Structure 1
Amino acid sequence: MDLDEKLKKNERLENKRSYYISEYIIRVLIIQKFILLPLAKKTNIKPNQVTITAGIFAFLSLIALYHHYAILAGILYFVYHFLDNIDGMLARYKNLSSKLGHLLDNTVDILSFNGAFIVVYLAYQISIFPILFVIFAMNLHAIICSRIIVKKLRTLKTIKRYGIKKFFLDRGFILGIDATLLCTLIILSFMSECFSFFFYLIGLIYLFDLFYRSVELYRNLKENNV
């Protein structure tokens, strides 16, 4: 088994290697090539230790944001996300994946993502509407995609992609919003302090992706006579 296959995320529906574009830049071009192998071979660092460290950086980022150190908050948040990518890759590489690690990673992510929007509201006193919109869209997308769309697609014998998503998938890329794109937009919102613009943008991307994936599910169910 080659390295790319070993590091492939199990929740992906496609059998072939595929990445979100933003994910490919961080995970494949940077972490996989320059960080993962030295970290795995020359240290005894465990994935859960990386996850906890990532959570600490996320917490420090939100503290900095609350005190209006916007640039510092963005830098710390980037470190959090960088480490958040490493822990899962390290777990798969060392065969140390566990339910506890998965739960810990999900908990840190949920608190870090939702916490970012809540802290912005508390610290900068912007309108509540972009905050509620982005939190609603992000969590609605997570619930419906993971608990309904992906589960139903897994029951089908064949899965077809359509339109622009098929165009990108044929070239090895998944078109949509992933954690890397989400973190990038959050960091840009921190550093620019254009919170409402970026929060509405994130929410709209989530809703569009949810709509596209729902239509895709419907067409696949129809193709499979379900």
Structure 2
Amino acid sequence: MKLKDKVAVVFGGTSGIGEATAKAYAEEGAKVVVSGRDAEDGDRIVKAIKDKGQEAIFVKADVTDASEVKQVVDTAIETFDHIDILYNGAGIHDKYKSAVEVEEEEYEKLMAVNVKGPYLASRAVIPHFLERGGGTIVNVGSQATHVAGPGGSAYVTSKHAIEGFTKQLAYDFGEKGIKANLIAPGFVDTPMTEGIEDERLNDIPAKRAGKPEEVAALAVFLASEDSSYMHGSTVTMDGGWVTGR
């Protein structure tokens, strides 16, 4: 029960790693606010959590819309009194398009979800953290945080950017009790990686894809007091893929 009596807001919580993280937070004692664009999946996940006797609600939101993001934060506070953990896990891929292949509209949409979304959520939650004297932010990067190749021009740019954003959050707010760190998952078996060629596994020393639950366990560690001396860190979980690049 590493998160007993904590309240966690999980953006991008309706599938993949986000879903696994929401459930893992609940297992560790947190009250969870699951947010995403798919109400059907959101309700399914909340039901699964409640069926175990744990607490959760779903709030539908588009992370690129500041008013909807704020509504999630406001609802979390109205329902559970406060927020302790912000998990920014919403993300989309660009199907490996180069700078000359990706359309401007596609580029702007991806950057809005992958970079602007965490900014809007952090901006909405940090004043509350400051009032309470602290809080935790867990952002989600990728192998593409470190190197080119795991995505196209827009995706790689966004995942490099989120690392810089995380470092700046730690720099600006660490002394005020706010801990911000980044998870950089590798090839994980989620809807985002569905259909990507299995040959990629040959480049991974672990010789397999990761499981959402494995990344969720890391998200629990970064949200807990066990990582209290980690500020602005990027933690890679990719089966060794980056190591061999």
Q: TM-score, normalized by length of structure 2?
A: 0.34
More helix by share: 1
Report which of the two structures shows the higher radius of gyration computed on alpha carbons.
Answer: 1
More strand by share: 2
